[in-house]
Amino acid sequence: MAPVPLNSDYKIPQNDINSAHPSGVMALLFPDEKQQLNVVLTLRTNSIRHAGQISFPGGRSESGEELIETALRETEEEIGIASEKIHIACSLSSFTLHKSEHQITPFVGFLLERPKLNPNPDEVQEAFNCDLNVLMDDHCLKKKKWSLLDQDFEVPYWDIHDIPLWGATAMMLSELLELYQEFKSEC
């Protein structure tokens, strides 16, 4: 789900992992009324970093804070889900975003039932959920040519909202869906 430069000579800049700011995000899952797993997503307000993008709840770690604590704190701050309601399953692969210099670690958390989402208007324009099976449907997966970093890229994205779900969140979600597919094939 990473954007691919259309110029084969272009090399995406890489930052030193040691200079990146540690960040934690939460891929929060819950069963809906039909017992289908859904993931909680947020649309970031226009006043914060990565404005107007679909993301997982999360953000930058505070001094002395463990990454899981960051993901839980940010989930409560952004959408009102108390950390004691979230059952942590695992973490996904960490990666560095070169443009914002963040080392992101995603965590997978489960809720026992559909949550009442209370978006914090200072950070979240909208909070919504999407069925994992919908995300696995090839009809929702699109590609488009975009200009990023003064280069043309082929950008894969999910067409599940007025705003495309792409970039870092799409890459993390792709790994989560691979794990979900493995789980479903073993059941």
Residue spans per domain, the chain: 20-186
Q: At the fourth CATH level, which superfamily is domain 20-186?
A: Nucleoside Triphosphate Pyrophosphohydrolase (3.90.79.10)
The position carrying tokens 């859904």 is: 38
Using the 8-state DSSP alphabet, how is residue 165 labeled? B
pLDDT at 95: 85
- Which tokens hold the place of 70? 């960051």
Q: In angstroms, how far is CA 159 from the centroid of its own chain?
A: 15
Lowest mean pLDDT among 42-51, 63-72, 135-144, 159-168: 42-51
* More confidently predicted of 160 and 95: 160
> Is residue 40 left, alpha or beta, with left meaning phi > 0 and alpha meaning psi from -120 to 50?
beta
pLDDT (average), residues 154-181: 93
pLDDT tens figures, 13-59: 665 556 778 999 999 999 999 999 999 999 988 766 656 789 999 99
pLDDT at 153: 85
Strand duo 141-148 + 124-131: pairing: unpaired
The position carrying tokens 């505070």 is: 62
